[in-house]
A and B are shown apart, each in its own frame.
Chain A
Amino acid sequence: MRQPQPFSRSLRLKGRPRARSMRSYAPAASWILIAPAMAILAIGFLYPLLRLIMLSLSAGPSATYGRLLREPLYATVLASSVVTAVSVTFACTVLGYPVALAMARLRKRAAALTTACVLIPLWTSVLIRSYAWIVLLQRNGLINSVLISEGLTQGPIKLLYTQGAVIVAMTHVLLPFAILPIFSTLRAVPNDYVRAAHSLGAGKIKAFFLVTLPLSLPGVFAGAILCFVLALGFYITPALVGGPESMMMASLIGQQTTVLLDWPFAAALSTVLLAITLLIVVAFRKSLSFSKGLSSVY
């Protein structure tokens, strides 16, 4: 005879032939979990974008998109936006790589300090950082005072409201977005590979160019695309530190909506910017694994 089992539950006799794998949540449960996000994205994301596209077509495409093609100003602005975005992307990648390498290779304390230096600006308002650049670059700002007191220039130089100011400030704002994806691929490169390269006779520099750099290229690429896409549609920083000659797509949209109040045309410009952005993201979706890098934000 079996002894009584105080802790064991009595087994239920009725089976449920609809049983399923316990390794993932059932489709119904999954849909319930994702439903709120999809609802709010439908209301606050997809529907507004749809309305925007519809508005851009409301007055007839020739009035909006036709005008975009007819007037050379808009091609100039688009070109200048691309030039700025490319410059910023290049600067972010070149400046970001050594920092990412330091984050991945330095010892615990130093790496943590470096990481903090990258994360603090990332989570500081873009407004505040743009403001800081105004303070630095204005006529009587820090940079001009230093230049004058060192006797390098006679009077203050115009630094603010220039293309250069836009590129410098945007590089500052977007640098963490380049650093983090590079960092996460570099961290994934096993140190053994580098050691193996050393043991096979490669010097430090050779080992870097033959092993570390090629293995981290996906991160460099992801960071560069992220930077480019964000730079292309950036509004705040160019609006605050840029001048009229450094007009970018976003500033143009802002001008149409706040000054000229031409909403259908602003919608058309927005649609073009949206289309370019989505094209880039879709074209490079393989290398832009979204969660890469940004998950190491904290």
Chain B
Amino acid sequence: MIGQALTLSRLRKSYGDIVAVNETDLEIDAGEFVSIVGPSGSGKTSLLTLIAGFEPPSSGAIRIGDKDITYLPPYLRDIGMVFQKYALFPHLTVRQNIAFPLKMRRRAAKSTIAARVEEMLELVQLPQHGDRYPSQLSGGQQQRVAVARALVFDPPVILMDEPLGALDKKLREVMQIEIKRIQERLGATVIYVTHDQEEALTLSDRVAVMHQGSLQQIGTPAELYRRPSSAFVADFIGAMNFVPGILVGGEPGKHVIQVAEGIVLKATSGGRLAIPSKGSAVCLAIRPEHIKLAPRTGKAAGMLAGAVEASIFVGPTQIVLVRPEALPGIVLRVQMPADQIAGLERGALVAVAFDEAMLQAFPARERLAA
């Protein structure tokens, strides 16, 4: 295993009044694959820039293993990096590109370097392309060369900055598997920046969500999906329905929330923030697969009634959009098995039932900020 642990403590970067990265703590284990996701401008690339050493932090520390690298220049950090547009050296062949980090280190003999480069070409499945120039390769092939160049010197930490962003969807999926395969085989510590949350969930051991320069939550894909710590994370990872309401009772962790006249729901606390006091505005979050629909004829009290606005085929499941009568302006996204949609065609009247165990309440202001 080549990977080492990476620790960020209270890392901060500001440009004048603009805070790019805000007091970030992050511990990544050796050999772990961690993705950093967030909308553009959330500070994820700035964070990567600090780790790579292209910009000095305003304060805080970066450690690899037990060594402080906060103020080391990038060329002494031993961090492998894959850039957004590959950044292959256009005047060097594939072989020379991959050999470049080894030549800069002047540790190994020529024959060792040559053997190592061939090994890397095998690893990224480009053994026939060593003498080509980058401009003679396809996007996917250039990407493989970039990965090989970042890995060739067994770096303890590898950074990838949206490495698949320039590829089309099909190729991106192939390369995701490829990157994961190589990472697992070498036991490399990888920090992977992407704006594509699906890609992050597919690849990562853990995913870190950034928003406005701050780390919102870090956890396994399942944790982020099931227990988002804020309305922003809930919204950013996967699909989520939000319903506004007023806290009317309950106890800590078990809230009773009124969403409309005569309609009261029970929800758990979402996230770290405590719901303030009775009477305050909250927002309820629920995943599309945790809403049940049933055809209805009349209207019963305490039941959320609605009409189907659209029914969308997405393969094994069906997405049904429902407009509840009692919640003006809200369209619920419901996901259900394709074989259970009888009677739910467009315009059908339905009864909406939430799986209350999966209903989470967040402070309403937080939702607005997101």
Contact = CB atoms under 8 A, between A and B. Distances in A.
Direct contact of A and B (CB under 8 A): yes
Interface of A: 2-3, 5-9, 11-13, 15-23
A3 B73 CA distance: 25
A13 to B, nearest CB: 6
A11 B108 CA distance: 17
A8 B56 contact: no
Contact of A11 (B64, B105, B107): B64
A7 B1 contact: no
B72 interface: yes
A76 to B, nearest CB: 58
A2 B1 contact: yes
A25 B64 CA distance: 27
B67 A13 contact: yes
Contact of B105 (A2, A9, A12, A16): A9
B116 interface: yes
Nearest to A3: B1
Contacts of B68: 13, 15
B53 A22 contact: yes
A11 to B, nearest CB: 4
26 contacts: A2-B1, A2-B30, A3-B1, A5-B156, A6-B107, A6-B108, A7-B101, A7-B105, A7-B107, A7-B154, A8-B78, A8-B153, A8-B154, A9-B76, A11-B67, A11-B76, A11-B78, A15-B71, A15-B72, A16-B73, A19-B56, A19-B73, A20-B56, A21-B54, A22-B74, A23-B54
B76 A12 contact: yes
Contact of B56 (A3, A13, A21): A21
Contacts of A11: 64, 67, 69, 72, 76-78
Contacts of B78: 8-9, 11
Contacts of B105: 7, 9
A133 B293 CA distance: 92
A7 B70 contact: no
Nearest to B61: A15
Counting contact residues on chain B (CB < 8 A from A), the size range is 20 to 34
Interface string B93-128: 000000001100101100000001000000000000
Q: Is the interface of B mostly helix, strand, loop or mixed?
A: loop
Given A15-B71, A16-B71, A7 B4 contact: no
Contacts of A21: 54-56
B108 A17 contact: no
Contacts of B55: 21-23
Given A7-B101, A9-B78, A15-B71, 15 more contacts: A5-B154, A7-B102, A7-B105, A7-B153, A8-B156, A9-B105, A11-B77, A13-B67, A16-B73, A19-B56, A19-B71, A20-B56, A21-B56, A23-B54, A23-B55
A154 to B, nearest CB: 66
A6 B56 CA distance: 28
A9 B68 CA distance: 14
Contacts of B154: 5-8
Interface in B1-52: 1-2, 4, 30
Contacts of B54: 21-23
A3 to B, nearest CB: 7
A21 B15 CA distance: 12
Nearest to A12: B76
Contacts of A8: 78, 153-156
Contacts of B70: 15, 19
Contacts of A2: 1, 4, 30
Contacts of B77: 11
B283 interface: no
A22 B73 contact: yes
In this complex, the member of A5, A11, A13, A23 whose beta carbon has the largest number of chain B beta carbons within 10 angstroms is A11
A19 B72 CA distance: 7
Nearest to A11: B67
In this complex, the member of A7, A19, A20, A21 whose beta carbon has the largest number of chain B beta carbons within 10 angstroms is A7
A172 B72 CA distance: 58
Nearest to B112: A6
Nearest to A17: B71
B247 interface: no
B193 interface: no
B13 to A, nearest CB: 11
B349 interface: no
A3 B71 contact: no
Contacts of B275: none
Contacts of A6: 107-108, 154
